[in-house]
């Protein structure tokens, strides 16, 4: 009997792609507003965001910065804050068009996967809200049941996003060749390694660098966040 071909993959970035905002930035501001971390972190957060968008910060440094905000507390400690973050920050920033894009692939029977540079604490509720059974995020180290403030393993960012996906495919008994017919939706030049590997890359409300690259390579450019994209 000929093995059945698995359904094609539809891969989605989260921040500025399905979520109208950056989860790491929103989480930091949310924590400051509620007094969980000090206001002195606001300037460092702004600087990190600028450096990330410009591609000036390394994946490890970026991930370590946001991992550090969680240090000293357990997953159970953070759970109520995750619920509040979903209600106050995430739900108002998940546009109907973004949800419809995910649902269009689900309706076609595609295998859906969310892949985000944000860490698991920040991204967990968003993944669940959008109905992703499978998702990859930056993992965090636990020591004696509490977050150490350090990343565990490879951050799910830039080249790491491709490497982590290849590891996920292997763990699920799927072939890397499946990427040749996979979609990947992203807004960021930081995701170029994975965008360049899939057969169906789509730029979603792209940053200026990705916009130029997408146009040069004939990639589709779409808007699901209600913003105009350059012609």
CA distance 89 to 158: 25
Give Rg (Cα) of the chain.
17
Which residues are 140's β-sheet partners? Answer: 151
| CA 181 to chain CA centroid, nearest Å | 21
pTM: predicted TM-score of the whole model, two decimal places? 0.93
Fold assignment, 9-222 = Rossmann fold (3.40.50)
DSSP state of 90: I
The phi and psi torsions of 114 (rounded to 5 degrees) equal -95, 135
Domain-by-domain residue ranges, the chain?
9-222
Which is catalytic among the residues 13, 20, 24, 25? 13
| Of the candidates 87, 88, 21, the residue with the CA atom closest to the CA atom of residue 226 | 21
Question: Is-catalytic flag, 180?
Answer: no
Which is catalytic among the residues 15, 20, 22, 25? 15
| Of the candidates 225, 206, 185, 157, the residue with the CA atom closest to the CA atom of residue 21 | 225
Which residues are 114's β-sheet partners? Answer: 12, 135
Question: Is-catalytic flag, 139?
Answer: no
pLDDT tens, N- to C-terminus, the chain (231 residues): 446 788 999 999 999 999 999 999 999 999 999 999 988 899 999 888 888 777 788 889 989 999 999 999 999 999 999 999 999 999 999 999 999 999 999 999 999 999 999 999 999 999 999 999 999 999 999 999 999 999 999 999 999 999 999 999 999 999 999 999 999 999 999 999 999 999 999 999 999 999 999 999 999 999 998 865 433
Strand, coil or helix: 187: coil
Strand, coil or helix: 20: coil
Report yes or no: 117 and 155 within 8 Å, Cβ to Cβ.
Answer: yes
Q: Any residues with CB less than 8 A from the CB of 61 and at least 6 apart, and which? A: none
């Amino acid at each position: 009997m000929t093995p059945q071909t698995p359904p094609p993959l539809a891969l989605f970035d989260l921040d500025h792609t399905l979520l109208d905002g950056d989860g790491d930035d929103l989480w930091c501001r949310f924590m400051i507003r509620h007094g969980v971390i000090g206001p002195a972190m606001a300037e460092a957060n702004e600087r990190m965001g600028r450096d990330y968008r410009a591609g000036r910060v390394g994946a490890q440094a970026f991930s370590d910065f946001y991992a550090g905000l969680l240090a000293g507390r357990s997953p159970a400690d953070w759970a109520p804050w995750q619920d509040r973050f979903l209600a106050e920050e995430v739900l108002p920033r998940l546009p109907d068009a973004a949800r419809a894009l995910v649902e269009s692939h689900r309706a076609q029977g595609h295998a859906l996967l969310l892949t985000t540079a944000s860490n698991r604490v920040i991204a967990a509720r968003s993944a669940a809200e959008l109905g992703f059974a499978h998702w990859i995020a930056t993992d965090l180290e636990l020591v004696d049941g509490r977050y150490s403030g350090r990343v565990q393993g490879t951050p799910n960012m830039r080249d790491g996003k491709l490497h982590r996906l290849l590891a996920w495919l292997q763990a699920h008994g799927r072939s890397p060749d499946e990427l040749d017919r996979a979609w990947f939706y992203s807004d960021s030049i930081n995701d170029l390694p994975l965008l360049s590997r899939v057969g169906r890359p789509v730029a979603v409300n792209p940053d200026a660098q990705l916009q130029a690259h997408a146009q040069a390579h004939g990639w589709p450019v779409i808007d699901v966040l209600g913003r105009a994209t350059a012609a």
